[in-house]
Amino acid sequence: MENLTYWQALNRALDAEMAADDTVIVLGEDVGLFGGTYRVTEGLYARYGAQRVRDTPISEGSFTGLGVGAAMAGLRPVVEIMTVNFALLALDAIINMAAKIPFMSGGQYAMPLTIRMPGGTAHQLAAQHSQRLEHTLMNVAGLRIVVPATPQDAYWQLRQAIRADDCVIVLEHELLNFEQGPVDELADAPPPHRAIVRRSGHDLTIVSYSRMANQALIAAEQLAGMGIDAEVIDLRSLSPIDWQTCVDSVNRTGFLLIAEEDCRFAGAGAEIAASLTERCFHALQAPPLRVAALDLPNPYNKTLEQQIIPQPEDIAVAAQALVRGQRIPQEDRA
Amino acid sequence: MERELPIQFLRDMLRARRLEERLAQEYTQGNIGGFLHLYPGEEAVAVGVLHAAEPGDYIVSTYREHIHALIAGVSMRAIVAELFGKRTGCSGGMGGSMHLFDAEHRFMGGYAIVGETYPVAIGAAYAVMLRGLPEAVICFFGDGAVNQGTFHESLNMAALWQLPVLFVCENNHYQIGTEIHRHSAVTEVYKRAGGYGIPAEKVDGMDVEATYRQTRAALEQVRAGQGPRLLEFETYRYRGHSMADPGTYRSAAEVSMYTAQDPIAAEMRSLSLHYPDPETLHALGLESCETLCRRYLDHGHLDTQGLEALEAEIQQEIEDAVQYAQAAADPTLEDAWHALQPNWPHQALV
């Protein structure tokens, strides 16, 4: 067990899989000589050479598609898309090709392709560099999506993604890259899509994922000071979602709060709210509540940027109102 | 060129032509749904190119791919069953006309989004390069697909990393209904490869011997690790873009001009024109007089009753394939889940 940053954990995972399996290759912009924009591929070029750690041109559509073809021909490519935002240029390869070829071929072709993409709201990167794309990808049958929030999960879930025979999207968060946490490289990993209860509580269930799960934990501590004992579930995965862990919790607490960084409208939280309402309707003492980003592109302005995405205080205020039966004015501007 | 090849060419071109004619009928009778893009007129490309390929080569194709699959060795039964949406189709009934796949024959799919074949092809080529095998990847695309960004991105990467790909442009002059001089600033596709340092040539796509010969030469270089090559085949489709397209944007004179150069008619003519006399066979380097005489007789027979027999044999194959497809079962919902998640039942994901 040692303390690693999130990027170091991802780096160790890549290194371990590349050492174990010659068919694992890494490709993307600046992943080789430069070591990756977020240092995730640091040292791999020197260890595994230019053919297995391939610096690509700025051609997202085609190098992601190259990953698809290479996966069909027996490699296990790990495509790094520098940020989620650039994945929009590769959606044809991801949605039309990677997600559908196993199906369209009647199951003949596996798709052992991993696509890593850091994203989320960082520090004033403005509208075109601050997006979350989970809503788009979750709606695509044929993709698996993991959203690690800790270095340990980053390590485990990237290794599992590379070993999977399906296309797995690893949605990283740019602000998590330099966060530290304990990583045990020898411990047995839980299944890649199992949710985890990060904090036990009996007054309400907060369901979250990625960086927002960490924010929910901060909110839970604030709530504890107010006498509210919140349970925090980190989903770890957005497709498939481990409903059972959520159902067990909501059936006990009777209150469901969902915290997400993505825009509220048609976001991940909408699916979580709908599915858990279907499953737990009679146990719920109030309608589920979502704390999400406003339905706006990210403003460049620092204050505004902080205002549009949920802060721990927002989560705590919403939780308090939910369990006390108060109404929260929704910020619907449409 | 070996003597058997022209006969094989003729046989496969007739299989291609007769199959597509039958599929058009099956489409109008409602046995085939969705879009149906047919190949008549372009047979000399598929037949020449794929006869020049080796069994270990990978093939990536477009939505006009029935004949590519057929010549690559996919059974006619599996192709027709797929077009009928049946469980025993080559894609389990999940893909249909535009998405034929057959992993056994390294037929890596038909793709319905224009410009998708290039990245898949360079990906397969990347795998071949890493393994250092003498295999090649054949990437089909039409003239309308060269203005997609993936064309330029993929040609660049293929040349940059010297990937073993043969880019095969089937230039039928039309991007659905838009003629090439109205969709491309440079209408000679092969010239574009020069921008990436990829050796390229233009070939008469109506002449199966030319398509075979040029492809064979290009594939030898590709397999020898000399990097990608591009061949542009000038060809023509007699029908509209798909069964939904009457093709009224082309004049009758234009269509008949190309029909006069019909590759099948040309192949039949060339067989009879080059009817092998003893001197020709001798010049071909055949060793014994006896062999020469036997082949002479064989080829002589084919030229007359032989051809009728060939047509009958093809008709039989098509009849069998259609009957097989009609009798085949539909896939179940369980099959669909399995196609989407072939590995999931064996894994604990949650």
| Residues B247-277: tens digit of each pLDDT | 778 777 777 777 777 777 666 555 443 333 4
Taking an 8 Å cut-off on Cβ atoms, the answer to whether B119 and A70 are in contact is no
User: Is B263 part of the contact surface with chain A (CB cutoff 8 Å)?
Assistant: no
Q: What angle, 0 to 180 degrees and rounded to 10, lies between the N-to-C axes of helices B208-223 and B43-51?
A: 40
Taking CB atoms and an 8 Å cutoff, what residues of chain B touch A143?
A: none
Q: Is B43 exposed, middle or buried (0-12, 13-18, 19+ CB in 10 A)?
A: buried
Higher pLDDT, A134 or B253: A134
Report the C-alpha gap between B39 and B75 in whole angstroms: 17
* Residue where the block lists tokens 């957005």: A238
Determine the pLDDT at residue B204.
93
Determine the pLDDT at residue B245.
79
Tokens representing B289 are: 């007089």
Confidence band for A155, pLDDT divided at 50, 70 and 90: very high
Task: Give the closest-approach CA distance of A36 to chain B in angstroms.
Answer: 19
Determine the pLDDT at residue B281.
39
Determine the pLDDT at residue B341.
78
User: Is B89 part of the contact surface with chain A (CB cutoff 8 Å)?
Assistant: yes
Determine the pLDDT at residue B267.
62
Report the C-alpha gap between A167 and A146 in whole angstroms: 11
Residue A100: which H helix or E strand, with range? none
Q: What average pLDDT is seen over chain A?
A: 95
| Residues A275-313: tens digit of each pLDDT | 999 999 999 999 999 999 999 999 998 899 999 999 999
Rounded (5°) CA angle A216-A220-A226? 145
Taking an 8 Å cut-off on Cβ atoms, the answer to whether B149 and A61 are in contact is yes
Taking an 8 Å cut-off on Cβ atoms, the answer to whether A62 and B109 are in contact is no
User: Is B28 part of the contact surface with chain A (CB cutoff 8 Å)?
Assistant: no
Determine the pLDDT at residue A277.
98
Tokens representing A308 are: 């549009």
| Residues A48-86: tens digit of each pLDDT | 999 999 999 999 999 999 999 999 999 999 999 999 999
User: Is A106 part of the contact surface with chain B (CB cutoff 8 Å)?
Assistant: yes
Go through A125-164 and write b for each residue having 16 or more CB atoms within 10 A of its CB, e for each that does not.
Answer: beeebbbbbbbbbbebebbbbbbbbbbbbbbbbbbbbbbb
User: How big is the A-B interface in CB pairs under 8 Å?
Assistant: 172
User: Is B91 part of the contact surface with chain A (CB cutoff 8 Å)?
Assistant: yes
Higher pLDDT, A169 or B266: A169
* Helix, strand, coil % over all residues of chain B, rounded to 5: 55, 10, 35
Task: Give the closest-approach CA distance of A155 to chain B in angstroms.
Answer: 16
Report the C-alpha gap between B10 and B344 in whole angstroms: 46
Taking an 8 Å cut-off on Cβ atoms, the answer to whether B350 and A191 are in contact is yes
The three state secondary structure string of B214-231 is HHHHHHHHHHCCCCCEEE
SS3 A280: helix
**DSSP strand E in chain A: where?**
2-5, 24-28, 53-55, 76-80, 114-119, 144-146, 168-173, 180-183, 196-199, 204-208, 230-234, 237-239, 256-263, 289-293
Determine the pLDDT at residue B47.
95
A2-5 and A180-183: which strand pairing? antiparallel
Examine the pLDDT at A11 and tell me if it is beyond 90.
yes
| DSSP calls for B100-134 | --BGGGTEEEE-SSTT-HHHHHHHHHHHHHHHT-S
Bridge partners of residue B139, in order along the sequence: B60, B167
Determine the pLDDT at residue A3.
97
Determine the pLDDT at residue B262.
75
**Which residues of chain B carry a pLDDT beneath 50?**
271-278, 280-282, 284-297, 301
| Residues A233-279: tens digit of each pLDDT | 999 999 999 999 999 999 999 999 999 999 999 999 999 999 999 99
Is A202 marked active-site? no
Report the C-alpha gap between B315 and B311 in whole angstroms: 6
Report the C-alpha gap between B50 and B215 in whole angstroms: 9
Identified catalytic residue from A17, A29, A80, A129: A129
Is A282 marked active-site? no
The three state secondary structure string of B63-94 is CCCHHHHHHHCCCHHHHHHHHCCCCCCCCCCC
Nearest residue of chain B to residue A146 (CA atoms): B349
Task: Give the closest-approach CA distance of B126 to chain A in angstroms.
Answer: 6
Closest partner CB to A73 (pick from B90, B128, B347):
B128
A53-55 and A24-28: which strand pairing? parallel
Rounded (5°) CA angle B60-B63-B66? 80
Determine the pLDDT at residue B282.
47
- For residues B187 and B181, the answer to whether their CB atoms sit within 8 Å is yes
Tell if the pTM clears 0.95, that is, is over it.
Answer: no
- For residues B9 and B47, the answer to whether their CB atoms sit within 8 Å is yes
CA proximity to A101, closest of A160, A167, A24: A167
Nearest residue of chain B to residue A94 (CA atoms): B116
User: Is A192 part of the contact surface with chain B (CB cutoff 8 Å)?
Assistant: yes
- For residues A283 and A250, the answer to whether their CB atoms sit within 8 Å is yes
Taking CB atoms and an 8 Å cutoff, what residues of chain B touch A73?
A: 58, 108, 123-124, 126-128
Query: Is the peptide bond preceding residue A312 cis, with omega within 30 degrees of 0?
Result: no
